[in-house]
């Protein structure tokens, strides 16, 4: 049978490829972005309790009210945005589902979506499946800041959506208040929607606040804001996230969500509501928790031949290997897993047109022992 693929540019993801190499060569996996430590014990205990108490059937399509209430309270406390729990908050089966649903609900065939390269690999396939075109605008290759003049120049009458990501995966850059000003200015008086990927919202370093688009009513009024409990509570395998959007956008979003997954893992929703209510300090302490890992990992690599760009947020460290090899980044990552015993991700995997740089992405959401062992191997290269 001949099948004409709807995603001709998509193959096995680089994350799967590098994880398989890590297994094959017994390399320490700093490639795929997940913690190798557990989430809070209280959260896991709550999950067991709710499963054992019978909360195992379908939840409401929009998410259980108690969890949406906790999301609203947190959002108002942190960003001053009061989201309506009935009409503006939807619990989803991970951030990836939310990203897909937002694009599928509002972007039509022939329209354009601006993405900022390097960008996460699930963005463009969702755009392609909508029959739209991804317009790639590169970040500054040194600082990974947004060049808003280039973004503005990329806008056409076909532009329907602009996707932003802060804290940024894979680069670790973060938005400033000036970035929100620029974003508001270029979208003002347009029909452009914003999809703001804020899954690392609680992992911003050096005492800086997370600059959510929800801080600006003008931006919130045209935005899908997407976050992830998996990143916040070290439980990526639970695949629970949420989307905050104004009522009119949420109506369309939910039309897709209800036929995509309908509802999200019920006992996990109850457990997450429990811990948000009983331990709000967890997400407030998260910046320091990961900042310590960032600083420790950078210190461990100080004696290596890698050059380490600044990391302002998220839990990834880019590493420049120019002093080590002339190989391209994909071949270098394959060699590193095979010969160096550490799995990484080539930065080129996040680009439409990669720049002439030699950068790989390493994940420091790992235990101290894992980071120590990986650093020892990297310092020998």
pLDDT in tens, 90-127: 999 999 999 999 999 999 999 999 999 999 999 999 99
CA distances from 303 to 60, 85, 172, 223, 308 (A): 53, 50, 22, 44, 11
Query: Residue 104: which of 6, 32, 170 has the closest Cα?
Result: 6
Preceding amide of 170 cis, omega within 30: yes
CA distances from 99 to 263, 330, 375 (A): 15, 27, 34
Percent of the chain with pLDDT over 90: 93
Low-confidence ranges of the chain (pLDDT < 70): none
User: What architecture (CATH level 2) is domain 41-278?
Assistant: 3-Layer(aba) Sandwich (3.40)
Residue 49, token pair as written in the block: 């309790």
Starting at the edge strand found earlier in the chain, the sheet holding 159-165 runs: 89-92, 241-244, 223-228, 193-197, 159-165, 112-117, 133-138
How far apart CA 89 and CA 329 sit, in angstroms, is 40
> Looking up tokens 């109850």, which residue turns up?
270
169, 200 in Cβ contact below 8 A? yes
How far apart CA 137 and CA 115 sit, in angstroms, is 6
Phi, psi of 345, deg, nearest 5: -120, 130
How far apart CA 7 and CA 197 sit, in angstroms, is 22
The CATH number fitting domain 14-39+285-379, selected from 3.90.1150.10, 3.30.2230.10, 3.60.20.10, 3.40.50.720? 3.90.1150.10
Output the pTM of the full model.
0.96
3-class DSSP state of 342: strand
3-class DSSP state of 273: helix
Give me the residue spans of the domains in the chain. 14-39+285-379, 41-278
How far apart CA 225 and CA 220 sit, in angstroms, is 8
Provide the pLDDT for residue 307.
97
Provide the pLDDT for residue 357.
87
Provide the pLDDT for residue 69.
98
Residue 76, token pair as written in the block: 């108002």
How far apart CA 252 and CA 257 sit, in angstroms, is 9
Provide the pLDDT for residue 9.
87
Residue 186, token pair as written in the block: 């270029």
Look up residue 313 and give its DSSP letter.
B
The DSSP secondary structure of 173-242, one letter per residue, reads ----HHHHHHHHHHHTTS--EEEEE-TTTT-B-TTPPP--GGGSHHHHTTEEEEEEHHHHTT-GGG--EE
Measured from the Cβ of residue 216, the count of other Cβ atoms closer than 10 Å reads 19
Preceding amide of 307 cis, omega within 30: no
């Amino acid at each position: 049978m001949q099948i004409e693929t709807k995603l001709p540019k998509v193959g096995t993801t680089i994350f799967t490829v590098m994880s398989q190499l890590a297994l094959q060569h017994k390399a320490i996996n700093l490639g795929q972005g997940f913690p190798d430590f557990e989430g809070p014990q209280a959260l896991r205990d709550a999950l067991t309790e709710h499963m054992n108490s019978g909360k195992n059937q379908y939840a409401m399509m929009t998410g259980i009210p108690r969890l949406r209430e906790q999301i609203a309270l947190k959002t108002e406390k942190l960003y001053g945005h009061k989201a309506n729990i009935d009409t503006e908050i939807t619990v989803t089966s991970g951030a990836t589902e939310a990203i897909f649903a937002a694009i599928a609900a509002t972007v039509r065939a022939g329209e354009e979506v601006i993405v900022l390269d390097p960008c996460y690999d699930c963005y463009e396939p969702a755009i392609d499946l909508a029959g739209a075109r991804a317009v790639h605008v590169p970040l500054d290759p040194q600082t990974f800041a947004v060049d808003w003049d280039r973004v503005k120049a990329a806008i056409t009458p076909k532009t329907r959506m602009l996707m932003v990501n802060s804290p940024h995966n894979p680069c670790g850059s973060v938005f400033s208040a000036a970035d929100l000003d620029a974003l508001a200015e270029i979208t003002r008086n347009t029909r452009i929607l914003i999809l703001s990927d804020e899954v690392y919202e609680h992992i911003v370093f050096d005492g800086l606040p997370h600059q959510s688009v929800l801080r600006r009513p003008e931006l919130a009024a045209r935005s899908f804001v997407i976050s992830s409990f998996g990143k916040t509570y070290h439980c990526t395998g639970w695949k629970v996230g949420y989307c905050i959007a104004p009522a009119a956008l949420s109506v369309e979003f939910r039309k897709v969500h209800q036929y995509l997954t309908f509802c999200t893992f019920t006992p996990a929703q109850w457990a997450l509501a429990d811990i948000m209510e009983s331990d709000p300090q967890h997400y407030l302490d998260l910046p320091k928790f990961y900042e310590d890992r960032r600083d420790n990992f950078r210190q461990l690599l100080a004696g290596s031949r890698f050059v380490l760009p600044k990391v302002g947020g998220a839990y990834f460290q880019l590493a420049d290997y120019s002093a080590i090899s002339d190989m391209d980044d994909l071949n270098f990552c394959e060699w590193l897993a095979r010969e160096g015993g550490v799995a990484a991700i080539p930065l080129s995997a996040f680009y439409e047109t990669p720049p002439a740089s030699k950068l790989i992405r390493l994940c420091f959401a790992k235990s101290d022992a894992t980071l120590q062992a990986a650093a020892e191997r990297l310092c020998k290269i």
